[in-house]
Chains A and B, each alone.
Chain A
């Protein structure tokens, strides 16, 4: 261990001379205020956005355009956030493929997909504003696939009545992140990349308390950094790294969820975790990597070991009216959506994932414990390669499977968390003044289940809204002097350094591994009361072990240390998921209880809200759903 593990360092606080620039990011390192006091590099902004995925970048652009001095902070390099992996497309009722499509149809699909647990106002704003947000991307240089008359092409996805997803082959997320990244760079917004936020500071205000800053470390050097700011936008994404089989990356440790809880905000809908029906299952090292829903949108079907299109056996009552019950009608639908009903392969994801799970349990699975996804026998090779180039590449390179010639083996994989920070629908504001959330880290928009394509649009719509309000709040608060107390900062630094001074010999990688197994087995797709209770006890035991973590090496780019810090977030968020899952005694969307197999109207009217008590324990309360205005309710009377 080197001396860099000692207490507060002074780097970044050069006493005199021209402002130095950070070697990695080119950002200015302020010299003045940091010379005395806590001794760390310090920056002041109107708005600090944590996260550089779609939501964070869009929020930062909006905040910048609203006149705020804005910074983006992210754990990875710019352009590598999760959003880059999104494949299928952005849902927006632009009506380019079907003029019949409009925001009302999109709204209705979204609410029904979420089994009516969505916050109606978020679903409404989302459906109304998504088209303009997509056109804006084009304005900033995005090159979407085109229709024959030159408009943005739209593709089919599960749960959407019309072909609605704006897309670029099957790499839509890459197009979106690159476009937003290039825009943010063009606007000159400061980016702090490979910098992780570990705490948010508050200060007393007229209404109680408000946000005053944030604390983090540079991954490269392990040095600390302090932000003074009246507005923080959380855009940190999801939690999927807490599961063994997942499409999510190392970044998805629920940092934003945990930061919000610790800052005093609430989480909702945490019991709803989306298992995407189609992840790779073989070879083991790629288990969980996503196979885009576009494969089914473009004609792919699911078969069991007997070669049967089994989804016809799993059409729930709720979707009977809009789902084809025979192969002929299902196949005609691809050509003519107005007079045919949708194939059952394109039911919402929760339905398809459960069906696959049942087929595997009934021993009708594929050799490696999945089922078959077949597009090879249904579309020609040229079509497949053009529409699904990165799927073709992914299977060829990683599994030695040619998807134009043979079926893929797939199975459910943890993909997305519907739950998140409880926010005001119009502004993305949490209950803590100055704290905002947008994107996957925010809750409410998707109810109990998210439709494919509705995340990328969510990022744009609510990223924009949160950015604007965060800027306005900051500019209103004006020169109200923000306090970040030195003791607080030093305490934050001590907490971050703790794993270096503990000689407990627990390995962070092992604890993470154990947590992933536990969540996969006890809080997975199908849940039971006794298993959920066990999971809570086991999480408690892991927490205790995590207090004795130790890490090797020094502070310079040390993944073991980073994981040790992320683990406390993963454990807290996992506890929230298990707590809410145990409480909700029904099955709905992404939450399936073996002991309560059906939906229950009593539960259909309530949200579960989680907060952190002063004792550090997760607290849960019930909250009635917000009432939907009548004119929107009417949309559900009309036939599909």
Chain B
């Protein structure tokens, strides 16, 4: 064993060579230097009653172990429209996954399990999608064509998603610039994954078929912050219609990233926009690292085309080491990577090295659960010294080489070896095209090979749907106020910026606006009441509040000639007891109507007593003491400033 070699040092050294800058220290110049470019695909579920292509209800979710029936399918690659199998298709086929669907009768009919052709497209969903497309200032198509987009991971039992373009182009304004859109499509949602272990992947069919729109931007965001800003904007815009679903999983983002010399890599299914900046930052550096690895390999190994791994099957009884591989009846294989010294422990992401790229692929392609490999540059390889020695002898290990040792059932060994060799060969070319899964810590895992455009083909089960001019005109007349107008409004009203997201995300601007106009309340008061006070109370008490009721509360106050200040006290009770009527709230608060002159008459009594008894030197303290005595009686009856002024007047006398 090469005891001189220090993998930890190599990781650190290569991290520096790549020039990894922590996210907190990165500036716009950092990303310009990398040639950072990013685009977004925002998926947003629509609020319809029924699914897109059948009449099953939407938004009813099952517990994963609560199902009425299960069925088993396998996905085979098919010949695409232009005649060739595509890359993803073959890779997925190689994995030989058994796909199991768990269905509930309430949320799945024969359509979900691909035992009947689609019913006509849900018109309600079509109109919502068109509305959002119009808000994006897109070109609406003349005729909607349902297209099949292949997904061989089994997430859709047909093996394809039915999807259709509603509009193309369009743009959104960010703070510094405009971002263009490529398209908006209307599509059916996929199954929820229950588990994926070995050769068996389980899905629940409840979410399958729910209507979803996908908004796709050009890759024009040049910093991670711009990506997040665009994501927020598109989400707010969709929500401003009031016709999209909210809650966990209702909106998901796919983010694609590339750097100079890199490849477009897609990070799929990011659940929180707040994760996007760090994920894209780290992905940019992963690509940079793979480019550094590419250069190094091409310097070291002159004939990449003829580069091959050398393998040797090991006898478990010869190993005499406790191995970490899960499962039984495993075969053990040692794989020599000639000339790969220093590559396996090369930095790719914080806490992850090149070997982890191989490990990810072994999991997905060869179905080998992690930990699925040991290698010559593991920090703790000394713990497997006996194994290392055996491998190095068996494989004729040289000082420029690296090795990987993996184990699996006999049927998966060939795919395992192929996967390792293929990933190493790809390193000579740079960055493999793939989709990746984003984790909360900002790093990503290999998910699948990125499919090309050729996996789209027409849906022979559905006829095209013409889009009449009259429908566009009708929808245009009903559009909600546009987002830029809302942002300008908030700024003009001097609403604090920390309120904006809450108001827009929950589409509360229409209600706020109505209250402000109808009751002539100060805009800032209404907006902070919603986005600070109510939001805080709701979170604190883990309750919910139906904002549609806020209007009636204002209306109640106006009718009873009660000042707006009392509203917070009332709301704090209403949020606790959502069904209570407003008069009872007043009773609970022990609130009584009182005229200003009556209240003012009480001031001299308190000022005199405070000045006499307490001998307070400071007027300021005396004033607040009296205010405290009168505050509750004044609330809702008299303007506080007025009471305070009266007290001040008397105290100073």
Q: Do A and B bind each other?
A: no
Interface residues of B (CB under 8 A from A): none
Q: Which residues of A contact B (CB under 8 A)?
A: none
